[in-house]
Amino acid sequence: MSASSHDPSEYRSRDAIPIRRALVSVSNKTGLLELAAALAAAGVEIVSTGSTAKTIADAGHPVTEVSSVTGFPESLDGRVKTLHPAIHAGILADLRLESHEQQLAELGVAGFELVVVNLYPFVETVASGAEGDAVVEQIDIGGPAMVRAAAKNHANVAIAVSPASYPQIMKALTLGGTTLAQRQRLAGEAFAHTAAYDTAVATWFAANVGVRAEHEAEHATSGPLEDSPFPSTLRLESEREATLRYGENSHQAAALYVVPGSSGIAQARQLHGKEMSYNNYVDADAALRAAYDFDTPAVAIIKHANPCGIATADDIAGAHALAHACDPVSAFGGVIASNRPITAAAAESIAPIFTEVVVAPGFEPAALEILTAKKNLRLLELPGDYRREPVEMKQISGGLLVQEPDAHFAPFASWTLAAGEPADEATARDLEFAWRACRAVKSNGILLALGGASVGVGMGQVNRVDSCKLAVSRAGDRAAGSVAASDAFFPFADGPQILFDAGVRAIVQPGGSVRDEEVVEAARAAGVTMYFTGERHFFH
């Protein structure tokens, strides 16, 4: 009779199943000794492999080596350990069926009621920067086979793939065994675990091996190899970290998922304050991106994903003061990001202002003392290896858009002087600052800057004229003598004319409009310096 043709009446009901024999093989030893001690105290026979068996034995607990069960030594540098019928028959036997119970007896194989396995650290190895064979050796074979076998046979076997599951296993030992509901939940977690693992392997393989092989085959007879930075198949896997209070609005459910191996705002450690909201995460990520566009000490203040102010200075306290001065009204209830640790002086600058979130790579002890006095202020400390993702994704109906991040800024030396006199050193510095800071402004974006700080921002308008008006309005008297950056070219001279009339002394823009000459002539007539960068920074 095939596995799929058993009559339902043949299956005997099994709910609570006592644990008498466990297979334990883990690369992550967290919680292992506590679990082993509980299993040993309950009289459970522990079958284990390699370093796991040694760790258990060294702690004084009885353990049976897998090789003594299989009658076959671990071989090929540990590549072959558990891939044996004596192991997999013990995991896969469905003891609700008398025929399976009889076959195990005939084969002399004992069943398992518990399998504890976590997989080789593939994701961590890739994140460490390893390449080639060093990564390939962390592709687990026997582990996923055992996990999937135990999860499939959850009617009889409990599978634990994470130390987070150990406490419920240890409790089950004292309550007479695992329940069917427990085993079903654990099986679901196990299948998700192996799916995530396989996704990570497939993604790495496609990016590092599969793409080039595919393109070499495609172009073998049709022309030269043209590598794409994107794999032909994109696999995404993430784990739910938290259920949020709600989404952008209170009637929307929301959750935070983290991508294994990543190191961004989702992995930040909250040191203080209320729980993070959906909008907090969106704004904090936008603020970080803006602050980390600069190599010098920088602060960005974001509200509704747009900058209220961005500034650089010799220190973070000075940068915050300058950023806040750009638009104090909008900064109320904003999110602050710094690309340097928050000092006591910076904390003194921040504390009097109502702020939702402060995110930084660190906080001085004195700064923490000052800021934690604000009961509801959320303080986030970035992971030590904080980095931006290599690709950005945006969901659209039916699919995803994927692109490289906008992290390139044409240096001043490469710009083309289109109108006016060459900028002096101070003006050139302000233009370069404005060009970087403008990247963080939602299109159509205009940013006015002076002294390494934004003084007026016009964002998110459906025409560039209105963005110019908004930037000048917010700058007020500070517009006179400032410089301006436009994230894309000016299609007409009407937008720049608003800036000229406000006293802007220099403008940087991509150029490339069919009416560039009209815009350039207007700049010449106004006596304003204008540079073309040849690149744009749309941000939608």
Place of tokens 């921002």: 457
Q: What is the rounded CA–CA span in Å between residue 172 and residue 160?
A: 13
Active-site entry in 61, 152, 215, 274: 152
Question: Are the beta carbons of 92 and 109 closer than 8 angstroms?
Answer: no
Nearest Cα to Cα of residue 24 among 111, 143, 129: 143
Is 152 among the residues known to form the active site?
yes
Q: What is the rounded CA–CA span in Å between residue 5 and residue 10?
A: 11
Is 540 among the residues known to form the active site?
no
CA-to-CA separations, 115 to 63, 64, 214, in angstroms, rounded:
14, 14, 38
Range list of H helices, 108-179: 122-127, 133-136, 142-152, 166-174
Cβ-in-10-Å burial (0-12, 13-18, 19+) of 186 comes to buried
Q: What is the rounded CA–CA span in Å between residue 295 and residue 452?
A: 13
Sheet bearing 306-312, strands edge to edge:
269-272, 378-381, 355-360, 334-338, 298-303, 306-312
Active-site entry in 304, 324, 442, 540: 304
In three-state secondary structure terms, 185 is helix
Range list of H helices, 59-141: 66-70, 85-92, 98-107, 122-127, 133-136
Q: What is the rounded CA–CA span in Å between residue 454 and residue 475?
A: 9
Q: Catalytic residue positions?
A: 152, 304
